[in-house]
Amino acid sequence: MTFKELLNRILKKKTIVTGTIVSFLITYSFFFGFLCDTEKNGFRGYYPIVFLSLWVVFLFITILLWTGVDGLNEKIIKKSKGAEEKEISKRKKIILFFVSFALLFAAWIPCWLASWPGFFSYDAGKEFVQIWYPEVPIWGRIPIIHSTLLLLSCKAGMKLFGDFNSGIAIFTALHLLLGAAVLSYETVFLYSLKRKKIVYVLTMAYFMFSPTVILFSGCSNSTIFGSLLASLMIIKFYEIFILDSLKDKSKAYRIVSFIAFAALSILTCHIRTSFMFLFSLMMTYVIVKMYKKPARIVFMIAVFIMLFVFNKGLVKLVNAENPPDSELMSIPVQQLANVYVKKGDAAFTLEEKEVLLRYYAEEHFRYYCPWCADAIKLGLNNDEFEYRAGDFWKLWIKKGLRYPFEYLEAWNYLSYEAWYPFTEPDGYTRRNYIESEYRSDYFKVNPEAPAELDSKIPALYDLMESFSTEAYVHRIPILGQLCTIGYQYLFLLFAAGYSIHAKRKGFRFINALNLAYFTMMLFAPIVLLRYHLLLFYLFPITAASLFGKSSFETKGKAE
């Protein structure tokens, strides 16, 4: 490629616009992430100059890397030219699925045995109490089907082996089986589209040896269960609505497939209601793109309605308590609190302070933590907010207009661990409301009561525990990158931008969904790895979107 050809490729309008947006987000990540990580996030006069300088540098690097990937792809496509792309038979897909399932299950079993009865953690103890003791009210945030599965597992363990541990092991084993099934399906899905053995090998290697995938494979938390189902829901939507894989199938097969997709979507959104956001984006895509197929639009709208009916119906059936509104307000409550803590009474008139203290418990300001909204969020007067939310929002808007940098600072500190790649994941000591020497557990390997750790491979458990609590591990090249949310986010951002630059439509929709969900999770009260597992589960698709061309792209079947 000559210099002139390179220049012409770089100076395309779409490349410049896309590169400017992507490089801005990358610059934001590195610049503000560094300031937050070093606790220097006060705004100074020279910051805009530094930011703009970095932006230009990252714009140049981004476009240069995209051009490099272009060159690599030209070689891959040229090398593949003339090679016959054989359709992968249904029989071969089934065989590959079961082979993949067996390999993944075998690869994850040692970790599960080492943490026996599995990773029964992340509020699992609270979930157990709610389902085992009828007198304890059920909280609406806990998915009822997931809790029922736990109840049945524990009863089976008590009946067969006489203890809770065995029941919990059955429960975590079910998560292990679901993970192996979903990720095997994704592996075969990718291989059937790329039709290259290297794709299958690399995807399997990632799922078998990625620490994040392994350590969460046997975890009891409903977020893991939901993230796996969400990955499958996205892939099935892609197959049915974008690849149009049912086009040549019989009417009965199509009906069964649509019913199965509806059931999967309802279950996914029940396990974690935040996945309704993903389904709403899918529904919007169908409405906008498939206006000539009204039956599909009606189907998606009907399923969307059923999501709400199903969830509300179950909550009503078991008389579950609704979660407080503060669960959805982490960013606003933290921003107002940040202004009050930093600026004090001088930032509020007497009337404004009176409004502020109607919603906040003043003593909770003592425990204000920039890296976690829970201290302030838990002190919010939910009854007052429920009846008089208008005054809160008026105050929030008024203070935001006057103190925009304090609002931005609160947002950055609360979310930067999700988009800054060099942070020590999970906040470690800094997330405690009161100073402590306690080091938080990134993967949460320690089980909660009533589970009792009975490791079958103690040496491996010690290694896992060290990996989960020692921050230096996450600085190890490649290994640390596979465990850190910020690296996954930046890679996805780069891949999504490249698909626009190179006019590659292949997996653009999946990457867009992944980015959208990541953005929504930034509004959570704290950054936790389990909230962002979708990034890790869909990582092979993100990587595959960069290189070569899929069979459906060459046939013009992409979205």
The span from the CA of 346 to the CA of 327, in Å, is 29
The span from the CA of 529 to the CA of 423, in Å, is 13
Instruction: Please enumerate in sequence order all residues whose Cβ is within 8 A of that of 412, keeping only pairs 6 or more positions apart, or say none.
Output: 32, 35, 36, 41
> Which of 311, 282, 313 has its CA nearest to residue 299?
282
Most confident range, picked from 256-265, 328-337, 404-413, 544-553: 256-265
Instruction: Please enumerate in sequence order all residues whose Cβ is within 8 A of that of 155, keeping only pairs 6 or more positions apart, or say none.
Output: 167
Mean pLDDT of 362-372: 81
Cβ atoms of residues 58 and 27 within 8 Å: yes
pLDDT score, position 267: 95
The token pair that represents 224 in the structure block: 């893991």
DSSP string, 508-526: HHHHHHHHHHHHHHTTSSS
Span of 85-94, 147-156, 381-390 with lowest mean pLDDT? 381-390
Exposure string of 120-147, with b = 16+ CB inside 10 Å and e = fewer, is bbbbbbebbebbeeeeeebebbbbbebb
Residue 88 in this model has a pLDDT that exceeds 60: yes
* Residue 380 CA: distances (Å) to CA of 376, 389, 414: 7, 12, 17
Average pLDDT value over all residues in the chain: 86
Where is 205: in which H helix or E strand?
Answer: helix 197-209
Cβ atoms of residues 28 and 58 within 8 Å: no
Cβ atoms of residues 480 and 422 within 8 Å: no
Residue 296 in this model has a pLDDT that exceeds 70: yes
Mean pLDDT of 403-422: 91
Mean pLDDT of 77-89: 68
Question: Cis bond leading into 540, ω under 30°?
Answer: no
Which residue in the block uniquely carries the two structure tokens 């049945």? 152
> Which of 238, 405, 413 has its CA nearest to residue 331?
413
Mean pLDDT of 481-509: 91
Mean pLDDT of 317-330: 70
Rg (CA), the chain: 25
Exposure string of 405-438, with b = 16+ CB inside 10 Å and e = fewer, is ebbbbbbbbbbbbbbbbebbbbbbebbbeeeeee
Span of 81-90, 345-354, 436-445, 495-504 with lowest mean pLDDT? 436-445
Residue 559 in this model has a pLDDT that exceeds 50: no
Q: What is the pTM of this model?
A: 0.91
pLDDT score, position 89: 85
The span from the CA of 151 to the CA of 168, in Å, is 9
Rounded to 5 degrees, φ, ψ at 456 are -90, -15
Residue 117 in this model has a pLDDT that exceeds 70: yes
| CB count in 10 Å sphere of residue 96 | 18
Beta partners for residue 380, in sequence order: 360
% of the chain surpassing 90 pLDDT: 50
pLDDT score, position 103: 97
Residue, of 192 and 364, whose pLDDT is higher: 192
Residue 471 in this model has a pLDDT that exceeds 70: no
Mean pLDDT of 167-192: 95
- At 513, is the pLDDT very low, low, confident or very high (cuts 50, 70, 90)? very high
pLDDT score, position 260: 96
Q: What ranges in 40-163 are assigned the alpha helix state H? A: 47-80, 90-114, 124-132, 144-161
Span of 24-33, 138-147, 175-184, 472-481 with lowest mean pLDDT? 472-481
- At 58, is the pLDDT very low, low, confident or very high (cuts 50, 70, 90)? very high
Residue 101 in this model has a pLDDT that exceeds 60: yes
Residue 6 in this model has a pLDDT that exceeds 80: no
Q: Is residue 181 exposed (0-12), middle (13-18) or buried (19+ Cβ within 10 Å)?
A: middle
Mean pLDDT of 153-179: 93
pLDDT score, position 384: 79
For 218-229, what is each residue's pLDDT tens digit? 889 899 999 999
Mean pLDDT of 150-157: 93
- At 323, is the pLDDT very low, low, confident or very high (cuts 50, 70, 90)? low
Mean pLDDT of 385-395: 84
Cβ atoms of residues 191 and 96 within 8 Å: yes
The span from the CA of 10 to the CA of 5, in Å, is 9
pLDDT score, position 428: 39
- At 1, is the pLDDT very low, low, confident or very high (cuts 50, 70, 90)? low
- At 190, is the pLDDT very low, low, confident or very high (cuts 50, 70, 90)? very high
Residue 522 in this model has a pLDDT that exceeds 70: yes
Residue, of 425 and 555, whose pLDDT is higher: 425
Cβ atoms of residues 364 and 403 within 8 Å: no
Q: Is residue 68 exposed (0-12), middle (13-18) or buried (19+ Cβ within 10 Å)?
A: exposed
Mean pLDDT of 56-63: 94
pLDDT score, position 551: 55
Cβ atoms of residues 540 and 187 within 8 Å: yes
- Domain borders along the chain are 243-323, 325-419
